[in-house]
């Protein structure tokens, strides 16, 4: 009889125990969601430092999203600038006054366009992907595979950024110019290209964090200004 009474008291205390809210990794509790009482111990065991770490991770990812979103929207207009340069080249040739700088300037503008917009394209999931198998997988498996491929991508981008930094420093130190008739300085375009690769590196780390969290059952929400769709964490 006493054992039955103890069991009833324990069950009642668990039923009345307040639920623990589920926080997104930006630090805000999700409305209408909570852990069941049985999972309270596992959640609380992470401690304050774990919660601070998750909030910091969420703030980092949202900050990177916002940065690449802003840079990407500026880079869009570089395509218009490049088209304007090419049109001006055609007009100049038509009136018998060809210009030396238009083709190189168009190439530099194109390089700035796709490198500064690379992080934004990754954020919007706009890069080309072979989805023969990918689309058939469950979201959790996709996140696991994306996490693995992100590691290789980050290594590749780190090498590119190191090489770009070295090349930019060389161009600045020695006043490197392109070996053409126009002979423009190479430092500006190299700095822009290295900046674009660095922004893509930042976005890759943010996507890696997002995919790892998603594979673990968390949904790391995107930045306020980032509108790319996110997969359910199941």
Task: For 67-116, write each residue's pLDDT tens digit.
Answer: 999 999 999 999 999 999 999 999 998 998 888 899 999 999 999 999 99
Burial class (CB in 10 A: 0-12, 13-18, 19+), 176: middle
Q: Look at residue 46 and tell me whether its pLDDT is greater than 90.
A: no
What band does 203 get if pLDDT is binned at 50, 70 and 90?
very high
pLDDT at 129: 75
Coil vs helix vs strand at 179: coil
CA distance 159 to 162: 5
């Amino acid at each position: 009889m006493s054992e039955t009474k103890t069991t009833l008291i324990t069950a009642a205390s668990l039923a009345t125990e307040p639920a623990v809210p589920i926080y997104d990794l930006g630090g805000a509790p999700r409305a209408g969601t909570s852990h069941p009482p049985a999972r309270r111990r596992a959640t609380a065991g992470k401690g304050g430092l774990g919660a601070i770490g998750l909030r910091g991770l969420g703030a980092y990812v949202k900050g990177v999203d916002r940065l690449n979103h802003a840079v990407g929207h500026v880079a869009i207009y570089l395509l218009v600038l490049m088209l304007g340069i090419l049109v001006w080249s055609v007009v100049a040739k038509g009136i018998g006054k060809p210009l030396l700088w238009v083709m190189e300037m168009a190439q530099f503008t194109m390089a700035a366009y796709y490198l500064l917009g690379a992080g934004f394209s990754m954020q919007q999931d706009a890069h080309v992907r072979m989805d023969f198998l990918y689309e058939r997988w469950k979201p959790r498996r996709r996140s696991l595979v994306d996490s693995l491929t992100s590691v290789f991508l980050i290594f590749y981008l780190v090498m590119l950024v190191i090489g770009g930094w070295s090349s930019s420093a060389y161009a600045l130190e020695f006043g490197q110019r392109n070996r053409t008739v126009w002979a423009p300085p190479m430092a500006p375009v190299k700095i822009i290209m290295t900046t674009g690769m660095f922004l893509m590196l930042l976005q890759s780390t943010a996507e890696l964090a997002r995919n790892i969290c998603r594979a673990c059952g968390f949904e790391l929400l995107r930045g306020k200004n980032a509108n790319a769709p996110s997969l359910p964490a199941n």
